[in-house]
Amino acid sequence: MQRKTVIIFCILILFGVYFIYHSNKKINGLWIIHHTINLGEETHVSLSSTLVDIKNQKMNSYMIGSNGTPYTKSYFSYGNIIKTWSNNTEDNQKMRIERFNKHSIIFEAKEGDNLVYKKIPDSLKNNSDWNQKLLHKVFELKLGESTDTIFFDNRFLMSTNSIHPYRKWDSQGWELLKINGFDIMLTGNWTTFILQEKNNEILFFGFGINGQLLKAELNEIEIDLSKVEKIVKRIKKEEPK
């Protein structure tokens, strides 16, 4: 009888260890905070999305302007409950996983809006020298039926403005990151892009408003750069590092 009790106790211990291990490993991956849902069931999509690398009970968050340095939180998960903490105690919180699958997580925060994370699929892993392939070049970006012309400066991503009566180019910051085998581009106003080079094609992937993964193709083109370079020079003078 005593031996039976010991065996059952050991099984329960092993089951508990596996349960905790699985709870803390199942959310591992590279995620984009795509949108929030408030208590009124209204959805707000964040165009300039935060990138979160979750592994080894750490959440590393990357945002444009951080120069590749993440804001790190530790976490511990048991079942659908996750506790996070960092050096800033005001950021410590308890969250519940309301919904989880291999593509997305919905975190129900104790206070505030629910957060929807979209997972970047492993099929988009890549390793290219994007500075060499993009800098000081002009591309036509095709996404479905829409097209745009973009120019990559070392600090600013310039895109044509077809709506404004006299401003022909818009500008925003951009940064490149290499994380866990993925090539990532953070932007100021657009979504976070996953970059891939396939069959000599440059492809940008990003999550659209409906949460679906969209693919944009980039084709290098030749234009007169004098105007856009003049605009970039002016912006850099107005916004020195």
Residue 188 reports pLDDT greater than 90: no
Across 33-42, 87-96, 105-114, 168-177, which has the greatest mean pLDDT? 168-177
The model carries a pTM of 0.84
- Residue 207 CA to residue 152 CA, distance in Å, equals 21
All structural domains of the chain, each given as residue ranges with its CATH number in brackets, are: 27-119 (2.40.128.280), 124-238 (2.40.128)
The pLDDT, as a whole number, for residue 13 is 61
In this prediction, residue 42 carries a pLDDT of 59
| Residue 58 or 49, more confident | 58
Determine the pLDDT at residue 53: 95
Summarised one tens digit per residue, pLDDT across range 107-144 is: 886 566 788 889 999 999 999 999 999 999 999 999 87
> Does 223 or 20 have the greater pLDDT score?
223
pLDDT of residue 6: 62
CA distance 78 to 96: 10
Q: What is the pLDDT of the chain when averaged over all its residues?
A: 84
Residue 175: per-residue pLDDT: 94
3-state secondary structure the chain: CHHHHHHHHHHHHHHHHHHHHHHHHCCCEEEEEEEEECCCCCEEEEEEEEEEEEECCEEEEECCCCCCCCEEEEEEEECCEEEEECCCHHHCEEEEEEEECCCEEEEEECCCCEEEEEECCHHHCCCCCHHHHHCCCEEEEEECCEEEEEEECCCEEEEECCCCCCCCEEEEEEEEEEECCEEEEEECCCCCEEEEEECCEEEEEEECCCCCEEEEEEEEECCCCHHHHHHHHHHHHHCCC
Region 22-37 average pLDDT = 80
Average pLDDT over residues 226-241: 89
Looking at residue 229, its pLDDT comes to 92
- Tens digit of pLDDT for each residue in 58-97? 999 998 888 889 999 998 888 888 888 888 877 788 888 8
